[in-house]
Structure 1
């Protein structure tokens, strides 16, 4: 059985991409053989996993392929039979050849967006890239994930109407801005290592939606 490949991408930095990728990969890794590929030259995902203790290592294998760039699809293929899931944390730039290459073999692209008009306008470029790659990779699906939502504010009507203009749907689960996500990075784990029920429920629900989309 070959791995299902999940790409986490957005051209805009500051959308919580690595936090989402690490929590999704870590939770998948609790019950499935999972590989997280760090495609960001800053190496945030690799540093995150390295922060874990020897007694409790990060639940997924982590590997940096940031230097591979436009041939990353070939590198990922080498690991496809060894894992059940491969999650790729892409660099935050649309003109980056890494993302285009990774999308060529992806099953699902997750696009985390902060639900504000400026962030949604900035995500149009990634929509265009995914649409172009979809013509080559016909199995590719894409989903928006409302990320870093403010607890006291529902997604504004303006943001919701912009979301509806996208070619692909939004996941039902929204991820809120919680200290648990920052704490999970410091511990080198996931929100499942912390006593924050809401954060755990969010990630669990999102992972369930991801599995449903892949099946």
Structure 2
């Protein structure tokens, strides 16, 4: 149901850090004043936001594994977010729909891209609750965690240093996580084993792949 990906090069991580260092940040609740669980800072500089969002979006869409896991139809512009000592984001669920300049996005998949060195801060794990399991992520810079937006999650308090991340939301062509996972696994098997199969059987497998995408998908 979730996936860890390496998305950014070292140069791209460094550029995101430069943009963050030069940009202005504001209280994160500016985007949701009634959200008492949210205690962080977010980039509030139009030109800097445009540069970082473009860099991050390009990195995500060039990743074959990202495309194959998410089946992306729309992608919200990624937003740089900071957490200093004592800051956190309490347990919450992401909004089902986001209003963007180009229209409404349904949030099927949430994504956090980590940008800080792990030894530069303490705390700040992304804690995702999956049934009766608790999963925590603190990833090296350039790596991202993708997980269903339906899951309860929080950012645990930062106790030292600064946690810099980018967050975004993806509308998938396949809304249901279980169906996305089935398609992803089928496509992985086809990619790994397809060329060793008899051509007629491989063609039949490709028909199943395409027809399941038609059956499960709700976006072109």
Q: Tell me the TM-score range normalised by the shorter chain.
A: under 0.3
Structure number with the higher helix fraction is 1
TM-score, normalised to structure 1, is 0.26
Q: Which has the larger radius of gyration?
A: 2
